[in-house]
Structure 1
């Protein structure tokens, strides 16, 4: 996890990663959003000290239909010890909630962090994100579709400054048109819902203004091949 903290430093998030290891305070079950009668919660890990500390949104995996905010607690704790305020979130899950519910929740979590930055000793201008698998797709989409305060309809801003994504699918536009494999999440086949498949693909939005993303992946991962990340790298300067 020293490597993970160093990655955020290299990606421009900045932190106190070379300081002595921090102790941290942990607060659980904070509601960051209520929608359709459902309370979405997060756990917060804040280093002891004056701050303000850079923040990391921690997004779990689980094929967009399973998992919880406790899944990457090890990441959150380790990063908090190295000077990052970490926010591990739950988000709405498929098949009950189809895309774009998941990315909308992630964006609202970024907004919540900004709005509550002072309380959690966090620098609202330095927010990054880390996720694995489905979580990796979501943080990649955050990085490539971030809104400034001026462009955000809610007037807060969803833009992040760096992301780390593991085993993350980034382009659903090449999936067979009639495949129903992701219909539980995307609402149908690509032939039926082409605009939804496009909107869920981080690779579709890459441009020079995006936050940098570091991708890591198993070399023998058959579900998300390494070439998936090489492709998004060729699309623009985002992937490092």
Structure 2
């Protein structure tokens, strides 16, 4: 374990030596041969409707579906924030849904997880109308969205974390996960930081780690790992302590025999995935991972 930590620390210092400046934003427009359907309702809680934007390739035949979950510290952002991911994925042959979810100013955890699971169930139950293969559904999330995707990957069979967002007869299990700079072990993270709980976590969980460590454990993907969990790709920006947040989870995945991969976007700060020059090679990396893990 100490050797792993030392290796990651050395890698972080090497990447920090070559800071890369952003060069622009990737396109959010639907590429040629792709249809965009906006504001589809995927879940409802009384009068509150949650919506997604669905990008689908026009060619015939079932294709994998991907639920894309934006970041923003659980307190800001919307379904437009990661739209470039969906546009790019659809151009590569995937059906990709950019979702909104309830932020901490509206509802505390596990509401956002309920919403993400409802989006997966919608993709599985309704997505076939748009050419989605219900047996091949993946999820991508960055930062706060990465945290939620980690939980999608590990808590599919836990009833108390399922929620009531609709399509209850469909499974919320995913077949592949991509986590970009997302927290997967909040307990270890808080112990390592040894400081006050950040304001965004206080708002999201409704209490500090000191007052309610159980909810931080419940909200950690690593808590729920089992042998049925899907292959996972972890990606970090090079100036964001690359790999450190995943050490415990990757060790446990290896023990369970679950395929997992890790890669770094060199020279970028947290959130670099939404900018060039990182976006294009990152999407190539994700596409390669999906092609290996979402084969028919």
The TM-score bracket by the shorter chain reads 0.7 to 0.9
Q: Could you tell me which residue of structure 1 aligns to residue 187 of structure 2?
A: 173
Matched, 1:29 2:43: no
Measure the CA separation in 2 of the matches of 1:233 and 1:81: 31
Any conservation in 2 of the 1:22–1:48 contact (CA below 8 Å)? Answer: no
Distance 1:200 1:148 in 2: 12
Q: Which runs of 5+ in 2 are unaligned?
A: 1-30, 262-296
CA distance in 1, matches of 2:238, 2:175: 27
Query: Of the candidates 209, 221, 232, which is equivalent to residue 213 of structure 1?
Result: 232
* 1:77 alignment partner, one of 71, 77, 87: 87
The aligned residue for residue 103 of structure 1 is 113
User: Structure 2 CA distance, aligned partners of 1:81 and 1:217?
Assistant: 24
Which structure 1 segments of 5+ residues have no match? 1-20
Name the structure with the higher helix share: 2
1:57 positional shift: 0.3
1:161 aligns with 2:180: no
**Is 1:187 aligned to residue 187 of structure 2?**
no
How far apart, in 2, do the equivalents of 1:68 and 1:96 lie?
13
Offset, 1:146: 1.7
The RMSD of aligned alpha carbons is: 2.1
Matching residue of 1:235? 252
Deviations 1:17-59 (A, max 9, x none): xxxx971110001111111532110000010111211100010
- Which protein has greater RCO, CA pairs closer than 8 Å, 6+ apart? 2
Distance 1:24 1:41 in 2: 19
Q: Give the TM-score, by structure 2 length.
A: 0.68
Q: Paired residue for 1:128? A: 138
- Aligned residue pair count: 216
In 1, distance between residues paired with 2:170 and 2:74?
Answer: 26
